[in-house]
């Protein structure tokens, strides 16, 4: 589930956002390779780490909203290190879809909330991935992107599972309920899910109409729009004064030179 030779299948300078593929070196400990591959969540014992996913946050990151607002497509990946990785060039969001595998590993720690503090070292010694990582990945798929109670998100997931070319694991649609603590925080995927949320907040324009609307509403152009409006008002005012002057002159000339009947 973690590609041990990821670097060899990409160019030396390949990177995708903050993701850079690495390979397991002959002299490297496996635990160090896993830490380097994940890049995050190494010091789980530090207080204040991670990011809470509140209701508003979850509501904004449903799959159908990502598709509708940002035009994002969803692609399954067998490499856990690519989970929630967004390819901005192709507008593709990678999702580690092997939910059956995640549930099987998480099942070794039931109730999982009591094991969330286990480090990578401790977890690998038990032959599993860290419970925190398992919980985050499951939660991001089944509670954030594709919540079962949301018909639009569930419809998208159903189509992804039915895709003959790149099918998602059917277990993605089998939701077992949320058993995580209320103060559960993301650590491993905090940066990536925060980036997705940030994109939705900015909502980059996808066509000329959306770009024009964004330009009209941006703070950087507010002063320019106000100046143009003021300039137009001044011009209209000058024209109005000119027309009034002409009318007064015509009235004066008519009074001075009355037309004899």
Residue 96 main-chain phi, psi, to 5 deg: -75, 110
Tokens of 50: 């991670």
pLDDT for the residue 207: 62
Q: What is the DSSP-derived secondary structure letter of residue 111?
A: S
Domain that holds residue 94: 49-204
Confidence of residue 57 (pLDDT cuts 50, 70, 90): confident
Pair (67, 112) in one structural domain? yes
Average pLDDT over residues 171-184: 86
Quick check: is 16 in a domain? no
Provide DSSP, 72-102.
Answer: -EEEEES-GGGTT-EETTTTEEEEE--HHHH
Does residue 158 share a domain with residue 77? yes
Q: Which residues contact 58 (CB under 8 A, 6 or more apart)?
A: 143, 144, 147
- The answer to whether residue 158 sits within a structural domain is yes
Q: What percent of the chain has pLDDT over 90?
A: 35
106 and 219 share one domain: no
Higher pLDDT, 48 or 56: 56
Does the residue 4 lie in any domain? no
Residue 85 pLDDT > 50, yes or no?
yes
Query: What gap in Å lies between CA 134 and CA 233, rounded to an integer?
Result: 62
For a pLDDT cut of 70, what percent of the chain falls above it?
82
- In a domain, residue 231? The reply is yes
Buried/exposed 148-162: b ≥16 CB within 10 Å, e otherwise: eebeebbebbeebbe
Structural domains of the chain, count = 2
- Residue 2 falls inside a structural domain: no
Is the separation of the CB atoms in 1 and 98 below 8 Å?
yes
Answer yes or no: is pLDDT of 76 > 80: yes
Over residues 93-123, the pLDDT tens digits come to: 999 999 999 999 998 888 888 888 898 889 8
Are 131 and 181 part of one and the same domain? yes
pLDDT at 217 over 60: no
Final residue of a domain: which of 163, 186, 204? 204
């Amino acid at each position: 589930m973690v590609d041990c030779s990821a670097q060899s299948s990409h160019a030396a300078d390949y990177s995708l956002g903050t993701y850079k593929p690495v390979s397991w070196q002959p002299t490297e400990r496996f635990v160090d390779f896993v830490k380097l591959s994940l890049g995050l969540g190494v010091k789980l014992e530090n207080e204040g780490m991670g990011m809470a996913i509140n209701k508003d946050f979850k509501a904004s990151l449903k799959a159908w909203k990502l598709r509708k607002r940002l035009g994002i497509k969803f692609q399954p990946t067998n490499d856990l290190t690519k989970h929630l990785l967004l390819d901005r060039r192709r507008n593709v969001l990678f999702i580690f879809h092997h939910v059956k595998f995640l549930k099987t590993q998480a099942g070794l720690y039931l109730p999982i909330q009591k094991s969330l503090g286990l480090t990578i070292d401790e977890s690998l010694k038990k032959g599993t991935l860290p419970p925190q990582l398992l919980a985050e990945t499951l939660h991001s798929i089944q509670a954030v992107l594709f919540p079962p109670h949301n018909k639009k998100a569930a419809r998208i997931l159903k189509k992804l599972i039915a895709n003959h070319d790149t099918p998602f694991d059917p277990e993605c649609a089998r939701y077992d309920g949320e058993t995580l603590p209320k103060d559960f925080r993301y650590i491993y995927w905090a940066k990536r899910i925060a980036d997705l949320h940030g994109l939705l907040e900015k909502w980059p324009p996808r066509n000329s109409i959306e770009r024009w609307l964004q330009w009209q509403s941006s703070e950087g152009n507010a002063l320019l729009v106000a100046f143009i409006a003021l300039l137009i008002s001044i011009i209209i005012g000058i024209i109005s004064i000119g027309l009034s002057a002409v009318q007064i002159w015509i009235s004066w000339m008519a009074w001075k030179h009355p037309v004899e009947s």
